[in-house]
Amino acid sequence: MTPETFWKMVQVVRNAKHGSRGSRSKLTIPDQILMTLEYLREYRTLFHIGKNWGVHESTVQRTVKRIEDSLINSQEFSLPGKKELRKQNTEIEGAIIDVSETEIERPKKNRSHTIVESRSVTLSKLNC
């Protein structure tokens, strides 16, 4: 992203209407946009981003949602829709997919760790 695009985002968010309830944010608008871009780009958890910026994860979630909504509503940073892309008559030569695969550790099933219960319990044994 170029610095011009970033500062254009800052201007859009500053000019967007926001509610006036609540206390002021601890982070400046450029910091809020940078935090949102970190979330979208790095796929980190809200908890870890909050720890880096010194805010709670719920604050990160609210900030990301508010910044995204402001940028989407401005329609200056939106991607073209499917119909617009089809009109351009361009062919897609390839697709890049970012996928990470993580193996999930599950307990192994074996008889040595299983407790076998006797199924032949009679009423006479229970009444003893």
Give residue-wise pLDDT tens across range 99-122: 777 677 776 766 666 565 655 555
Domain-located, residue 54: yes
Domain-located, residue 103: no
Domain-located, residue 8: no
Are the CB atoms for 67 and 13 separated by under 8 Å? yes
pLDDT in tens, 33-71: 999 999 988 888 999 999 999 999 999 999 999 998 888
- According to DSSP, residue 111 is labeled G
Domain-located, residue 14: no
Domain-located, residue 42: yes
Q: How many domains does the chain have?
A: 1
* CB-based contacts of 35, cutoff 8 Å, min separation 6: 27, 49, 53, 60, 63, 64
> Which domain covers residue 45, as residue numbers?
32-74
Mean pLDDT of 17-28: 78
Domain-located, residue 128: no
